[in-house]
Structure 1
């Protein structure tokens, strides 16, 4: 842990780092490939919508049922002719979902399930769910998403600048697309919990991006008044300076979500936890990735197109070519900075011999002083 803390301090002070901006086209390519796979998965497999969006019936059996989940699933599919989702609740009862059926079919399936499970028909509770309720939730979610994205772009354009707003918007769309695509590939059921999780991850995704942007804004203040670093080099330092913080916050957020997804949903069989935990898990990981590898490099690309930044780059490169910058032996990604964007003096390793002063001892009588 102490080594990690030392690494974080060195990254923050610019004494170590990785050149994210230089390799940005690699990260762009990786993101494009992942996005294409997500879109293909969404187009080929589609989303497995829950009964809240399709309509159907939910059958609940008494407590402490001896029948297994697989057996109940077979009974329900045989009785209805539709795919069924069966979950075993904490009290031992079974929750059986069958989508796309009406009231008459619900009564017939209920009687058939009672015979197969050796129960009285009155012991099974049947509830019909209309598709209009799920459709209303989906419409409200899309409206909320649109309003959220609009407000985010407006806020970032005012607090920072429009280029950062565009980069953050692209990163958010990137995160949403990947999350929805993985849902399609995995085949998890989409429920209102999924929609809630999808909307929740937007805040986490935006948090890491804003942290890097805030650091970048501070370090690029009066950037054209110096000739040591280009905008891309300072953007790279901002990523490195906040890297450990972003990783730590993401890992801390992922641990409980991973517990819900893999332990609660996978090991313990609480399938309802998968609805929200998968979207949170994928979204958190994608958000941390996009803030480092997509948003900030994209801002650097947009800024470097400005005439002022092009002129700055020419001056910086010209100064280095003529040996006017003492940082030429120190890569910009690992050079030290202070708050004024000037390079810190290189650290001295080992003992250093100070030259003796030529005037030392002059005019002073030898022997002891009285």
Structure 2
């Protein structure tokens, strides 16, 4: 069977994959992704935008100018410190440290003369560090409230084990997305925060769909059932797997179009910040809801006495069935008689001996003498002569 045929059957739901039974594989992949992401956060760090750390933003309508000309024009106007220049459509977006009103006017005049643009067409925006700190504080508060609400909802709608698995998957998605964002060097803006919050909602939606199916499939399980909780959960996951993949694919395609086409062809800076977080978060969220949250939930549930007893009962029945099969294989009928293949500790006094010419089903009994042989009595010499 070709790989394409297997994939087609899997996509149509004709065959299922043992996802729940391979937690070490998925945890290893997640561990590598987390290590890569944490390294990016430590080495590169997040590139926070002016909205978070404060600064001045100049939008310069000079499509014919190069990035070096724009940066040199701003620096020559008396700006010290880090200066970031980005292309935003036909305009240039220049971010500097916080400037006073007089310094802003000086920069506008210098850029206007160097790049031959009108000073009135150059727009400016000054953001103080205090306002940026407030934005960061509110973002963390919103994330904390969101997490608490998720835990409460899942604990009430399902149970605390599902809430723990979902929260672990959400933290997993946030760390990996933030790490990739750090390695890419993209600027963290308010649009990025919106993308992160959207990731949380999307990942939670995928996990809730899977958990609801698992709850429905595992509800009839008892200590006398024939399948374990892990096997039932894997069946439930397999039944929703294709739907989850289709939903994720349909959502990722337009986001990919915004990220790779909109930013490269149209230079949509704000959409770039939003689309990168959504693109990475949706892919990682789909993976975590299937390969992280579900195996973790199964491991937590298998520790319950009910399901632990169920697993022991199934193992006991399987062991008994194997022993019976072994006995049945060892004792099998030969020529109408039952022959035990296992040798006895002591030889029998009499054994059946079937000659090669004997018909099938006929048993010839061969008597084996075990005591001393009795010799016939001989008479006296006179008695023998008398005969």
Distance, in Å, in 2 between the alignment partners of 1:3 and 1:26 is 21
Change (3 A) 1:218 1:142: same
User: Quick check: 1:27 aligned with 2:45?
Assistant: no
Aligned-pair CA distance for 1:234: 1.1
**Does the C-alpha gap of structure 1 residues 323 and 278 become closer, same or farther in structure 2, counting only changes over 3 Å?**
same
Change (3 A) 1:66 1:100: same
1:54/1:134 contact within 8 Å kept: yes
Distance 2:115 2:225 in 1: 80
Q: 1:56 touches 1:129 (CA, 8 Å); kept in 2?
A: yes
- Partners in 2 of 1:122 and 1:266 — Cα distance? 29
Choose between structure 1 and 2 for higher RCO, CA contacts under 8 A separated by at least 6 residues. Answer: 1
Task: Normalising by structure 1, report the TM-score.
Answer: 0.79
Match of 2:113 among 115, 127, 140: 115
Distance in 1 separating the partners of 2:316 and 2:47? 58
Q: Which residue of 2 aligns with 1:10?
A: 13
Contact persistence 1:230–1:309 (CA under 8 A):
yes
Is contact 1:50–1:99 with CA below 8 Å preserved after alignment? no
Q: What does the per-residue CA deviation read over 1:105-127, in whole Å, with 9 as the maximum and x for residues that have no partner?
A: 33333233223212354443332
Which of 156, 159, 176 is matched with 1:161 structurally?
Answer: 159
Is 1:54–2:53 an aligned residue pair?
Answer: yes
Aligned partner of residue 259 in structure 1, secondary structure: helix
SS of equivalent residue, structure 2 residue 65: coil
RMSD of Structure 2 on Structure 1 (CA) = 2.3
Q: Which residue does 2:74 correspond to in 1?
A: 76
Matched-pair contact (CA < 8 Å) for 1:54–1:100? no
Q: For this pair of structures, how many residues does the alignment match?
A: 318
**Unmatched tracts of structure 2, length 5 or more:** 323-387
Moved more, 50-59 or 161-170: 50-59
Stretches of structure 1 that go unaligned for 5 or more consecutive residues are 325-370
Q: Give the distance between the partners of 1:183 and 1:101, measured in 2 at CA.
A: 28
Partner of 2:284: 286
Per the alignment, residue 356 of structure 2 pairs with none
- CA shift for structure 1 position 208: 1.0
Does 2:175 match 1:177? yes
The structure that has the greater radius of gyration is 2
**Counterpart Cα distance in 2 of 1:78 and 1:291:** 52
Does structure 2 conserve the Cα–Cα contact (< 8 Å) formed by 1:50 and 1:189? Answer: yes
